[in-house]
Structure 1
Amino acid sequence: MNYGISQQDHIACTAAIQRFSAYVDAGRYDEAAALFAQDGVMQRPQERIEGRDALRQSFQSRPAHRLTRHVLSNLVLDPVDDNTVRALSYVCVFRHLGTPGEPVRLPVQARIPETLAEYIDELVRVDGAWLIGRRTVRPVFDTF
């Protein structure tokens, strides 16, 4: 079955989406921001962050004692044109807030997920690399 996207592009787009969550969870904020286009946008329900530098600053402002795991699933990619792909994925977010000034020691007490949301992404090809041009975070189920 051909969905209009090459296997190589499918792998690259999937990697950008998956790496973002892994990098944020690992505190690798420079690398997470680099997955966005220079003018990339993240739209959350109450916040819009524009530009790679602003995204990096937002990620770096996360409390050091916050532990998260973003578990992604159900990724679907739909090509728009040769340089644009739309993607939908589900993200289940687990979060633990430790004590300020103290390192988080694993394992932590398990809790129910904080949210299940949809990531609605537009990926763009820039100089041969697939980057996130726009991400909209749409919560579906919240537990807080």
Structure 2
Amino acid sequence: MVTEALDPTERLIAERACERLIVEFVHKLDLGEPGDVADLFIDSGIWEWAEGDRRLQGRDALRSYFAGRPADRLSRRICTNVLVTLTSEATATATTYFTTYRVAAIPVVSSPRGPRRRSATTRTRSSRPKAAGCWLLAAGCWLLKPRSLYLAFAGPTERLETAKE
């Protein structure tokens, strides 16, 4: 189906569902259980970095990666400029800009410098997979397929010293 032929209301609902998926992704990383991010991907979902050879595929690998983050890492993300483009009635692409605030060794007293800021652009393809003419999940449930990370500014995570008594 050509995306222009979609009913405008259906198009808005699909675009909003994809936007919500991106926000849920960030929310789970920042405030939930990071390993639960894997549930937002299709079974064969991919997380890859544009630079280098880092690529994870499949929910088990994704869950292990995200759940394996250091316990003392504190991250918060801001996402902006979310642009969802439907490519069919069941697929979409999206571009999102993230700014990540992250420190390791959560300080007892906040650092006067504050956490290091990073900027990343992610490109996402979301899809509602079909099998035998029916949705694999409840109608309207969008999941991530591949997610590629492009770092505009990169560097190691700053490690703060804990306050000494």
TM-score w.r.t. structure 2 length? Answer: 0.75
Corresponding position: 1:58 with 2:62: no
The answer to whether the 8 Å contact 1:116/1:139 transfers is yes
Task: Report the identity percentage.
Answer: 26
Q: Superposition RMSD on alpha carbons, in Å?
A: 2.2
Distance apart, 1:70 and its partner CA: 1.5
Which structure is higher in strand share? 1
Which structure is larger by alpha-carbon Rg, 1 or 2?
2
How many pairs does the alignment contain? 137
| 1:34 paired to 2:39 | yes
SS state of the match for residue 6, structure 1?
helix
- The C-alpha deviation readout for 1:70-91, integer Å capped at 9, x for no partner, is 2100000111111110000101
Whether 1:71 and 2:78 are equivalent positions in the alignment is yes
Of 106, 122, 125, which residue of structure 2 is paired with 1:122?
A: 125
Matched, 1:139 2:151: yes
Q: What does the per-residue CA deviation read over 1:39-98, in whole Å, with 9 as the maximum and x for residues that have no partner?
A: 100011331000011100001110000000121000001111111100001011110101
Structure 2: tracts of 5 or more residues without a match: 130-136, 157-165
What is the alpha-carbon distance in structure 2 between the residues aligned to residue 106 and residue 23 of structure 1? 24
Matching residue's letter, 1:141: F
TM-score (norm 1): 0.85
Residue 43 (1) aligns with residue 48 (2):
yes
Any stretches of 5+ residues in structure 1 without a counterpart?
A: 99-103
Shift of 1:25: 1.4
Equivalence for 1:87: 94
Residue 13 of structure 2: aligned partner: 8
